Amino acid sequence: APPAGASGQAGPCFAVEGPGSDLVCFTLSAGASGRPEPRCFVPAPGRCYSLCVPAASSVPMARLHRRLQQRLRQGPFGRCRVLGLLCYGAQAALEKGFLIQDPQGGPETERALEELLRGLGELPPLLGVYEAGERGELWQCLWALRGAGGRELLRRARVVAAEEPPLHPAVPGLSHAAVFHSLEAARSVVEQCTSFIPEATAVLDLVDKCPKQSKKGEFPVIVIEGLDATGKTTVTQSVNDSLNALLLRSPPACISQWRKTFDDEPTLIRRAFYALGNYIVASEIAKASTESPVVVDRYWHSTAAYAIATEISGKVQNLPPAHHEVYQWPEDLLKPDLVLLLTVSPEERIRRLQGRGLEKTEEETELEANSLFPQKVEESYKRMENPRCQEVDASPSREEVLRTVLYLIKKHCGSL
């Protein structure tokens, strides 16, 4: 049975992304027994703190988490190491938060944290304070901040190592907080933003003008997907010319002007924006595919793959397993005939990223191309189903890649 928390019930479990991107999991035990806690996040002689907010698909909570994240990057927390923390457990809904490691361990960090939490208004998140015991064991004291500078100790429990859960703790909540499987789910998130993001109203007006459940016309619809700099723009333009098709892209031009606004928002809001963009593009595809073949540069698979890779910390192995429901195409979104996933080696992607002369330094480019994130995006693409992504090696010359793409289109959609 899971370790008993102070109340004797199954206590919460916690997961932080430790060194080497492994998940380090721990839980609380009322007793003094239990395996030694994971040492990797307890700086000696420093101190550690934690705070979490509900990870439910709620705009206020998503914005609170984002606000805390931004504040913990500033001022008195500059000397601290701040790790992403997930709190999960049999009886508790998922919470997202931070583990703050203060190597110096002075009282000022705790004071600054209290001030930060009190400034959030009523019912601030609980503050976890970790301290070493006489025999080197680790204890968590959970404090509730009360009015007039007071605070109440809710629990003092021993920190012990916990087995890594079979699924990454963020997987069960993906379909409500990052990957939207219906227009209504995405719309309800953006609707909660109209009071503080004026552009949200404009996006809703545009999506509400689109017919529900857009139906594809008789001409083929081909989507080109892939990481940035894999050659999507190059391929879509060449295919468009070769097939005398209509070229569309997601997000559509009518809302692309607001990307930066939504890119600055928490994942929940950002991905809901891109999801609504897909439903707007679907209405454009429906109309265009009655007149000619349609080529689309990014569509739902991009929205889902980038959201999954953003929410699932650590290694590629932490992704939801193949055939998980999160990879299934939304039932209310127009489905393409063929999705081609362009893939190139990280080395080739570095060459192409540098070839574009973007402002990134060579080191940034190499880090970006080789980090775990693009690997998780690409693996998520490969696990998509109904329709799946058909992989295309886009490393060869532009001409050869175009030949391959046109061959696959003809093979799958017939001669056009």
Ligand X SMILES: Nc1ncnc2c1ncn2[C@@H]1O[C@H](COP(=O)(O)OP(=O)(O)OP(=O)(O)O)[C@@H](O)[C@H]1O
Ligand Y SMILES: Nc1ccn([C@H]2C[C@H](O)[C@@H](COP(=O)(O)O)O2)c(=O)n1
Q: Which does 29 bind (CB under 5 to 8 A by kind): ligand Y, ligand X, none?
A: none
Q: Which does 229 bind (CB under 5 to 8 A by kind): ligand Y, ligand X, none?
A: ligand X
* Distance of closest approach, residue 172 Cβ to ligand Y, in angstroms: 21
**Of 352, 376, 377, 405, the one binding ligand X by CB under 6 A:** 352
* Angular region, 122: left φ>0, alpha ψ -120 to 50, beta rest: beta
| Residues of this chain that bind ligand Y (CB under 6 A) | 228, 250-251, 274, 277-278, 298-299, 302-303, 306
Nearest residue to ligand X by CB is 228
Q: Is 118 exposed, middle or buried (0-12, 13-18, 19+ CB in 10 A)?
A: middle
- Quick check: 188 binds ligand X (CB under 6 A)? no
Give the integer Cα–Cα distance in Å for 74 and 100.
13
Q: Which does 113 bind (CB under 5 to 8 A by kind): ligand X, ligand Y, none?
A: none
User: Are 161 and 26 spatial neighbours (Cβ–Cβ below 8 Å)?
Assistant: yes
* Distance of closest approach, residue 80 Cβ to ligand X, in angstroms: 34
* Distance of closest approach, residue 204 Cβ to ligand Y, in angstroms: 18
Give the contact letters, 212-231, x = binds to ligand X (CB under 6 A), - = no.
--------------x-xxxx
* Distance of closest approach, residue 390 Cβ to ligand X, in angstroms: 16
Q: Which of 57, 52, 46, 58 lies closest to 14, judged by CA? A: 52
* Distance of closest approach, residue 190 Cβ to ligand X, in angstroms: 24
Q: Looking at beta carbons only, is 138 or 255 nearer to ligand Y?
A: 255
Take residue 258 and report the two structure tokens written for it.
Answer: 């607001």
Q: Which does 187 bind (CB under 5 to 8 A by kind): ligand X, ligand Y, none?
A: none
* Distance of closest approach, residue 356 Cβ to ligand X, in angstroms: 5
Q: Looking at beta carbons only, is 152 or 263 nearer to ligand Y?
A: 263
Give the integer Cα–Cα distance in Å for 296 and 221.
8
Q: Looking at beta carbons only, is 187 or 352 nearer to ligand X?
A: 352
Q: What is the CA radius of gyration of the chain?
A: 24
* Distance of closest approach, residue 227 Cβ to ligand Y, in angstroms: 9
Q: Looking at beta carbons only, is 38 or 251 nearer to ligand Y?
A: 251
Of residues 229 through 288, those in contact with ligand X by CB under 6 A are 229-234
Q: Which does 286 bind (CB under 5 to 8 A by kind): ligand X, ligand Y, none?
A: none
* Distance of closest approach, residue 408 Cβ to ligand Y, in angstroms: 21
- Quick check: 107 binds ligand X (CB under 6 A)? no
User: What number of chain residues touch ligand X (CB under 6 A)?
Assistant: 15
Q: Looking at beta carbons only, is 11 or 277 nearer to ligand Y?
A: 277
Q: Looking at beta carbons only, is 398 or 403 nearer to ligand X?
A: 398
**Of 398, 403, 410, 411, the one binding ligand X by CB under 6 A:** 398
Q: Looking at beta carbons only, is 175 or 250 nearer to ligand Y?
A: 250
Give the residues lining the site for ligand X (CB under 6 A).
226, 228-234, 352, 355-356, 394, 397-398, 401
